[in-house]
Amino acid sequence: MIAAAVVIGVVAIGVLFGYMLWEARGLTITEEVVVLERLPSSFDGVRLFFITDFHRRIVTEQHLSELARHEKAELVLVGGDMIERGVPLERCLHNMGCLRRYAPVIGVHGNHDYKTDIRKLDENLRDIGVKLLDNEAMRLEQGGEFIWLAGWDDYSSGRTDIRLAMSEPRSEPHCTIVLTHDPLSLRGVDVSGIDLVLSGHTHGGQICVPGYGPVRTGKYYRKYLAGWYDYRDDANWRTKLFISRGFGTSHLPFRLNSKPEAHFITLRSSAKTTVS
């Protein structure tokens, strides 16, 4: 009886690990719509493709064919962790090159990017046409109007400089989207003037036990784990926060109840929505 129980236990563990490995190899592409009050009417309907946390994973032709089934996005936003220690640079360049063929790519660094040769990484990414925002903002222009896209450098490695990144958006206020790897970068920050924040890093907990939740996640990330949030700062300014579960995995190649994902995000203007 004891031997049989051991065998059953070993088989059950094997099945569980097999399932977690299978789940980690999938990809769910979601369609998100966000209404922004300050979004210029000329940007109404603009589509972004948001993907983050590649780590060791490879973008395949099958993934690209899945993208092609959706209405095309005008811009790809990459939320960091494009690579990690021990991953060949060529793999990262392959992934970013695939996305670059799809649409222009703008990204920020994540904590794992800084565990590699960051200068070499950045040089090669720029060579293939990937735009990196290191605590800076750029204008996205359309129909004679513009919005700001600000990129905050990685938080956990101490490189986030919000004052620098937001200097132009705050001197010339317009609708502002922030791309930041780690949602913890928002804690204690004045988010006034920020309309939308796109983030990753959490992996949605990566391994989430039913009835318990993420096995290894801090208190802040349990509150801001994945999906949409109305984020309010101490002054009660409200911004929309979206956290992706990400594409790859860290530490272990497993996921449980937190499937890999990437997202099409359609921007809608509240003025247009009201008129409609």
Identify the pLDDT of residue 6: 64
When mean pLDDT is compared over 9-13, 121-125, 234-238, the highest value belongs to 121-125
Identify the pLDDT of residue 101: 95
Q: Closest by alpha carbon to 26, among 264, 265, 245, 182? A: 245
Q: How confident is the model at residue 274 (pLDDT cuts 50, 70, 90)?
A: low
Identify the pLDDT of residue 43: 97
Identify the pLDDT of residue 20: 87
Q: Closest by alpha carbon to 162, among 151, 176, 171, 177? A: 151
Identify the pLDDT of residue 68: 94
pLDDT in tens, 6-48: 666 666 778 888 998 999 999 999 999 999 999 999 999 999 9
pLDDT in tens, 149-158: 999 999 999 9
Is 23 strand, coil or helix?
helix
Q: Give 228: exposed, middle or buried? Use CB within 10 Å, 0-12, 13-18, 19+.
A: exposed
* Cα-trace Rg, the chain: 20
pTM value? 0.94
Return the axis-axis angle of helices 118-127 and 89-102, rounded to nearest 10°.
30
Report whether pLDDT(240) > 90: yes
Place of tokens 């001197």: 171
Mean pLDDT of the chain: 93
Identify the pLDDT of residue 266: 98
Identify the pLDDT of residue 7: 63
First and final C-alpha spacing in the chain: 69
Q: How confident is the model at residue 273 (pLDDT cuts 50, 70, 90)?
A: low
Report whether pLDDT(275) > 60: no
Phi, psi angles (nearest 5°) of residue 149: -120, 115
Between 214 and 133, name the one with better pLDDT.
Answer: 133
What would the mean pLDDT of 221-245 be, rounded to a whole number? 91
Q: Closest by alpha carbon to 198, among 239, 138, 169, 247? A: 239
Q: Closest by alpha carbon to 28, among 266, 244, 276, 274? A: 244
Least confident interval from 6-10, 91-95, 247-251: 6-10
What would the mean pLDDT of 77-96 be, rounded to a whole number? 98
pLDDT over 70, % of the chain: 95
Is 146 strand, coil or helix?
strand
Q: Closest by alpha carbon to 276, among 32, 31, 33, 30? A: 33
Task: Check: CB of residue 49 under 8 Å from CB of residue 27.
Answer: no
Task: Return left, alpha or beta for 110; rule: phi > 0 is left, psi -120 to 50 is alpha, else beta.
Answer: beta
Q: How confident is the model at residue 144 (pLDDT cuts 50, 70, 90)?
A: very high
Task: Check: CB of residue 181 under 8 Å from CB of residue 165.
Answer: no
The Cα 196–Cα 39 span in angstroms is: 10
Identify the pLDDT of residue 9: 67
The Cα 124–Cα 127 span in angstroms is: 5
Q: How confident is the model at residue 5 (pLDDT cuts 50, 70, 90)?
A: low
Nearby residues of 166 by Cβ (< 8 Å), 6 or more positions away: 137, 150, 176, 193, 194
Q: How confident is the model at residue 270 (pLDDT cuts 50, 70, 90)?
A: confident
Q: Which helix (H) or strand (E) holds 18?
A: helix 2-24
Identify the pLDDT of residue 211: 85
Phi, psi angles (nearest 5°) of residue 218: -70, 170
Identify the pLDDT of residue 61: 95
